[in-house]
Amino acid sequence: MSVVGVLALQGDVHEHLVALAEADVLARPIRRPEELAEVDGVVLPGGESTAISRLLATFDLLEPLRARIKEGMPAYGSCAGMILLADEVLDGRADQHQLGGLDIVVRRNAFGRQVDSFEADVDLTGVGEVHAVFIRAPWVEKAGDGVEVLARVPDSAEAGDAAGRIVAVRQGHVLATSFHPELTGDGRVHRLFVDMVRAAG
Ligand code: GLN
């Protein structure tokens, strides 16, 4: 059975562990490099990306995790996790570390200027309609050529932006959503990721 780790330094770790267990994998928290070495894929939870990035350095996980993702280990980031996976962050803190792996530019707390938290039904490619919960969420401001855009939400504050803001992307073995499927009891996004892990193994 595939083993999927959840980075367990800060954030909604438990919710991801439950969602993964329901998707029929062995789900384990990761706090140490030895634990990272044993997993086939990793989930980066929602939380506070600046705190998680600092803790990644403190726990000696920053370089090993960067290396595994670069080598092709599947990774899924929700919200703060999406920020950590982005190659570039706007409105980040100067001392924020990036894991990288996704050729995207994200804007932190992007929707926060209009509304801190909201829910919306989004059409997620490969999954269908998903009820998405956004909590001080980032959006993807720019996606590189190799990045598949999986979902957008209308940005009501900018009437000209009819297509909406990008809130879910995939680039090969790396998946990211601005929203939190782990909070809604809808296991389809985690199952999509588990399929990616199985395909890589
Ligand atoms: N605003 C948070 C950050 O910048 C992300 C919020 C979340 O993960 N729900 O890290």
**DSSP label of 147:** P
Residue type, position 71, single letter:
E
Number of structural domains, the chain? 1
Testing ligand 1's pocket by substitution, the residue of 48, 54, 89 carrying the most ligand atoms inside 8 A of its CB is 48
Instruction: Judge whether 101 is annotated as a binding position.
Output: no
Planar angle of CA 147, 85, 63, nearest 5 degrees: 130
Model confidence at 160: pLDDT above 50? no
Residues within a 6 A CB radius of ligand 1: 46-49, 79-80, 83, 108-109, 135-136
Q: At what angle do helices 188-200 and 13-22 cross, to 10 degrees?
A: 70
Model confidence at 142: pLDDT above 60? yes
Q: Is residue 43 within 8 Å of 196, Cβ to Cβ?
A: no
105-134 in b/e burial notation, b at 16+ Cβ within 10 A?
A: ebbbbbbbeeeeeeeeebebeebeebebbb
Testing ligand 1's pocket by substitution, the residue of 6, 83, 84, 98 carrying the most ligand atoms inside 8 A of its CB is 83
pLDDT value of position 201: 83
Instruction: Judge whether 63 is annotated as a binding position.
Output: no
3-state secondary structure of 127: coil
Domain extent at residue 167? 3-200
Dump pLDDT digits (tens) for 71-130. Answer: 999 999 999 999 999 999 998 888 889 999 999 999 999 887 656 889 999 999 999 999
Examine the residue annotation and report whether 71 is marked as an active-site residue of this protein: no
State the CATH number of the domain containing residue 92.
3.40.50.880
One of 16, 79, 97, 190 is an active-site residue; which one?
A: 79
194: confidence class by pLDDT, cuts 50, 70, 90: very high
